Structure 1
Amino acid sequence: MAREFSRTDRVAQQVHKEVASILQNEYKHRVGDMPLITVSDVDVSRDLAHAKIFVTIYNSTEEEGKVQIKQLAEYKKFIRSILAKRLRMRSVPDLHFFEDKSIIEGMRISNLVSQTIAKDESKRDQDDSQEQE
């Protein structure tokens, strides 16, 4: 029976799960006050040496997001050491954190579409009321 996913996909999925758990528990207690951070995606290189971790930072400005990414980069050795204890691998991938703005952009576009629909409906209602007069 053939495997459905490649090893890199399985490792990426496991890294995603564990890093999300680490950020919500150990990292949060060490850093203290921080915005809501979620892991949105993980890309692992073919040789399993590097992992790009895309995080979404909610309720923060662009500058605060950059500060959080910088802080994650400073704590990557701490996060990687905990990850090494949880994963059963010979070598744990080196972690690289990036801010993922796709969810925030999607919400912004959705709001713009909703506003446009509301404007169109109000114009249509005004046109209908003027025609009835």
Structure 2
Amino acid sequence: MESTRQQKISRLIQKDLGEIFRLLARDNFPGFLITVTKVNITPDLSLAKVYLSLFGAGSKEDIFSRINAHKKEIRHQLALRVGKQMRVIPELAFFIDDSLDYIENIDNLLKS
């Protein structure tokens, strides 16, 4: 069960990372839309698990590996945005959120 503080920090990180990915996608990930679907943060606020939905033409694994390669830059941009509100900026761990693919698969199975 997440505390109120964890929930507030999760929402703050989700909002700011969404904006960061929107700006980064223009230069580093052309043709892709990256959406932050969920952020879970540990009770000590040291690790944030960030779930991403990737939309676009091309390999999701390639884009995901490029996102992980830019992890330091993304964390730095996050620190510039939330540095006044948080004492320590959490480490970021990215995961692909495949729930939309799962829902689409179930929908296709129900139609057939």
Structure 2-normalised TM-score?
0.87
Corresponding position: 1:72 with 2:72: no
**In angstroms, what is the RMSD of aligned CA positions?**
1.6
- What residue in structure 2 maps to residue 14 of structure 1? 12
Larger radius of gyration: 1
Whole-angstrom distance in 2 between the partners of 1:46 and 1:100? 22
Corresponding position: 1:57 with 2:24: no
Gaps of 5+ in 2: none
Q: For this pair of structures, how many residues does the alignment match?
A: 108
- Counterpart of 2:22 (choices 21, 24, 29) is 24
Percent sequence identity is 28
Is the partner of 1:86 in helix, strand or coil? helix
| Structure number with higher relative contact order (C-alpha < 8 Å, ≥ 6 residues apart) | 2
- What residue in structure 2 maps to residue 94 of structure 1? 91
Structure 1-normalised TM-score?
0.74
Is the partner of 1:46 in helix, strand or coil? coil
Whole-angstrom distance in 2 between the partners of 1:49 and 1:22? 20
Does the 8 Å CA contact 2:31/2:56 hold for their aligned counterparts?
A: no
Whole-angstrom distance in 2 between the partners of 1:30 and 1:74? 15
Superposed CA offset, 1:57-100 (max 9, x none): 12456xx2222221111111111111111112111111111001
Greater percentage in helix: 1
Whole-angstrom distance in 2 between the partners of 1:32 and 1:65? 11
